[in-house]
Amino acid sequence: MNILAIDTSNQLLGVALLKDNQVIGEVVTNLAKNHSVRLMPAIEKLMNEVDMTPDQLNKIVVAKGPGSYTGVRIGITTAKSLAWALNIPVVGVSSLEVLAYQGKFFNGLICPFFDARRGLVFTGVYQWQADQLTSVYEEKNMLMVDALEKLAEEGKEVLFLSPDIAIHQEAIVDALGDLAKIPEGPYHLARPANLALAGLDKEPGETHTLTPNYLRLAEAEANWRQAQKEKQQNG
Amino acid sequence: MTKDINILGIETSCDETAVAVVRNGTEIVSNVVASQIDSHKRFGGVVPEIASRHHVEQITMVLEEAVRDSQLSWDEIDAIAVTEGPGLVGALLIGVNAAKALAFAKQKPLVGVHHIAGHIYANRLEEDFQFPLLALIVSGGHTELVLMKDHGNYEVIGETRDDAAGEAYDKVARMLNLPYPGGPHIDRLAAVGEANIAFPRAWLEEGSYDFSFSGLKSAVINKIHNAKQRGEVLKDEDVAASFQESVVEVLTSKTLRAAKQYQVKQVIVAGGVAANKGLRASLETAFKQVDIPLLIPPLHLCTDNAAMIAAAGTIAYEQGRRSSLDLNANASLLLK
Ligand SMILES: [Zn+2]
């Protein structure tokens, strides 16, 4: 069983290959460079290096967001096109869930997040229970202050994981004090091998229906819906 | 007998998710277009983020339908061609990344195609080319005159300095409260109106093959405003007819002059505005008089589709052009 994992949902570019549940190769960069240019060459290079041909792949796992809309789409398009062409299943895993994998040995709440500008974050709250990652608060696009207020009310230890940790670190410590656990650098970068693991026991859906986990409407769509609502109220 | 060349083409530069298979650059084997137009209508134009979202939802379904319709096996498909630009970057990225994934999965050559080259080659699906030829490309995003001395050889001799012709149509249509896309509505109104309003023609410097439609657009807008203020009633049909006459006259006369200067053997019209009846009629009359063959593709090949990308990709493939797996979408790609 050979699994290819792909993550271009945020700044990190990650590709991993698993053979019979063993990681046999991983490529990770954390650079502000173009995913579209670099993803396929990264996959090709890694597969060459481990002597694997595309038709030997059995499954694809992809980080489906939240994150950069464009980045998420590059990953999903590549993953579903590969899966369709090779006639193998593809599984999408939330990019926040992949980050939460990095806190596997933490007993408290885990709050992975990605900065979404103007004080907003894409976030959710997770917890490991009996070796199972479970969702405590569903993923949302919300203000970081609101997320922190909710977490402070819990009065529990919270592990924060995010490539954008620096932007919100001060606010986190202000809100949670000693209850906030913030590890060092590498834990904030979602390893594609963890993505592959997260996809292991997920049931693949139909390839065609795999779509990004944006957590936010397109701006024009949101404005249009708002206008429709106002029209209804006034009319 | 030489072996057939089957090219799979992918086009996602704007608001159509399209995949097609073309044989020998001249024969459509399958051609699937998933249009998003209904989704964008409520916004009065194409919203890039929404277009990208639709493309990623549609792409493998459209691929599957086109490959199934072709009744070909993957062994019979020689290469993957894809629009690499110009267009909306987020939209282009879906096609480009799907094409790269397919090329890698099936170990096929990858060929990046210029969208305008595609529009030109849509005509080769109807009739073979005679060189030198002149192509007039008119669409929502382009107004260009391209001279071709041979296959795959493109020389842009004129282009718009501001708005594309199709853009001007859309803006004037909005002024007349016509639904998006406005072009066909203006064409329809123009057919029954009278061109009795003197709108300007932008000829630019003598000898120039460039176009400009922003002045005309402003003149139409001003005319409508002024009439409203004075309580004058302008007939929409007459505004449409007068506007269209200005556009068509400039397009026809510059195309005709270029065709004569370069002594071309064929004139090709391409792009969405090639469906415009007023433009077709004017070009047909003009070129009949000088006895230069004029090719205008049927409507379904005028608008964006992937058969045209596969057709242009066939020539590029035959000429040995290849793209590597680091191919990127290029929103402002030049035609070379
Ligand atoms: Zn076009």
Average pLDDT, chain A: 96
Min Cα separation B44/chain A (Å): 11
pLDDT of residue A235: 65
**Residues paired with B184 in a beta bridge:** none
Name the percent of chain B lying above pLDDT 70: 100
**Domain assignment present for A12:** yes
Instruction: Please tell me which of the candidates B98, B107, B326 has its beta carbon nearest to residue A77.
Output: B98
pLDDT of residue B140: 82
Residue B163 CA, ligand 1 centroid: distance in Å: 15
Q: Are residues A8 and A84 in the same domain?
A: yes
Q: Are residues A10 and A120 in the same domain?
A: no
User: Is the pLDDT assigned to residue A233 strictly greater than 90?
Assistant: no
Alpha-carbon torsion (A218, A223, A228, A233), positive or negative: positive
A120 backbone dihedrals φ, ψ, rounded to 5°: -90, 150
Min Cα separation A19/chain B (Å): 18
pLDDT digits (tens, 9 = 90+) for B285-326: 999 999 999 999 888 899 899 999 999 999 999 999 999 999
Q: Are residues A195 and A205 in the same domain?
A: yes
Q: A84–B57: do the CB atoms touch at under 8 Å?
A: no
**Domain assignment present for A225:** no
User: Is the pLDDT assigned to residue B248 strictly greater than 70?
Assistant: yes
Q: Which residue of A has its CA nearest to B94?
A: A77
- Contact at 8 Å (CB) between B65 and A85? no
Q: How far apart are CA A152 and CA A231, in angstroms?
A: 39
pLDDT digits (tens, 9 = 90+) for A102-120: 999 999 999 999 999 999 9
Domain range for A197 is 2-94+191-219
Q: B49–A38: do the CB atoms touch at under 8 Å?
A: no
At B272, is the pLDDT very low, low, confident or very high (cuts 50, 70, 90)?
A: confident
Q: Are residues A90 and A195 in the same domain?
A: yes
Based on C-alpha coordinates, what's the Rg of chain A? Answer: 19
> Which CATH number does the domain housing residue A167 bear?
3.30.420.40
Q: Are residues A156 and A115 in the same domain?
A: yes
Neighbour order of strands in the sheet with B133-138: B155-159, B143-148, B133-138, B266-270, B294-295
- Contact at 8 Å (CB) between B202 and B213? yes
Identify the contact set of chain A against chain B, taking CB-CB distances under 8 A: 34, 36-41, 43-44, 54-55, 69-70, 73-74, 76-82, 84-86, 207-208, 211-212, 214, 218-221, 224
Instruction: Please tell me which of the candidates B53, B63, B100 has its beta carbon nearest to residue A40.
Output: B100
Q: How far apart are CA B297 and CA B304, in angstroms?
A: 12
Residue A172 CA, ligand 1 centroid: distance in Å: 49
Instruction: Please tell me which of the candidates B43, B55, B107 has its beta carbon nearest to residue A224.
Output: B43
Q: B90–A76: do the CB atoms touch at under 8 Å?
A: no
pLDDT of residue B299: 85
Query: Looking at residues A173-196, what average pLDDT do you find?
Result: 95
Query: Looking at residues A162-186, what average pLDDT do you find?
Result: 96
pLDDT of residue B41: 87
Total tally of structural domains belonging to chain A: 2
Q: Position of tokens 């590969």?
A: A82
Q: For an interface test with A, which of B40, B83, B89, B104 has the most A Cβ atoms less than 10 Å from its Cβ?
A: B104
Compute CA distances B66 → A148, B22, B69, B113, whole Å: 49, 11, 5, 19
Name the pTM for this structure: 0.94
Instruction: Please tell me which of the candidates B42, B50, B326 has its beta carbon nearest to residue A218.
Output: B50
Rounded to the nearest 5 percent, the helix, strand and coil shares of chain A are 45, 30, 30
Q: Are residues A183 and A104 in the same domain?
A: yes
Min Cα separation A125/chain B (Å): 27
Encoding tokens for residue B48? 């890039």
User: Is the pLDDT assigned to residue B201 strictly greater than 60?
Assistant: yes
User: Is the pLDDT assigned to residue A124 strictly greater than 80?
Assistant: yes
DSSP state of B236: H
Q: A86–B53: do the CB atoms touch at under 8 Å?
A: no
Q: Are residues A200 and A131 in the same domain?
A: no
**Domain assignment present for A230:** no
At B1, is the pLDDT very low, low, confident or very high (cuts 50, 70, 90)?
A: low
Q: Are residues A50 and A134 in the same domain?
A: no
- Contact at 8 Å (CB) between A204 and A89? yes
**Domain assignment present for A234:** no
Residues of chain A neighbouring B93 (CB-CB closer than 8 A): 36, 70, 73-74, 77
Residues of chain A neighbouring B94 (CB-CB closer than 8 A): 73, 77
Query: Can you tell me the ipTM of this complex?
Result: 0.96
pLDDT digits (tens, 9 = 90+) for A214-225: 999 999 999 999
Residue B124 CA, ligand 1 centroid: distance in Å: 16
Query: Looking at residues A26-53, what average pLDDT do you find?
Result: 96
Give Cα B147 distance to the centre of its chain: 16
Domains of chain B: 6-121+302-318 (3.30.420.40), 130-296 (3.30.420.40)
Instruction: Please tell me which of the candidates A54, A69, A74 has its beta carbon nearest to residue B49.
Output: A69
Instruction: Please tell me which of the candidates A41, A207, A212 has its beta carbon nearest to residue B56.
Output: A212
Name the percent of chain B lying above pLDDT 90: 86
Encoding tokens for residue B248? 């068509």
Min Cα separation B328/chain A (Å): 5
- Contact at 8 Å (CB) between B282 and B249? yes
Q: Which residue of B has its CA nearest to A53?
A: B105
**Domain assignment present for A231:** no
Residue A88 CA, ligand 1 centroid: distance in Å: 34
pLDDT digits (tens, 9 = 90+) for A12-33: 999 999 999 999 999 999 999 9
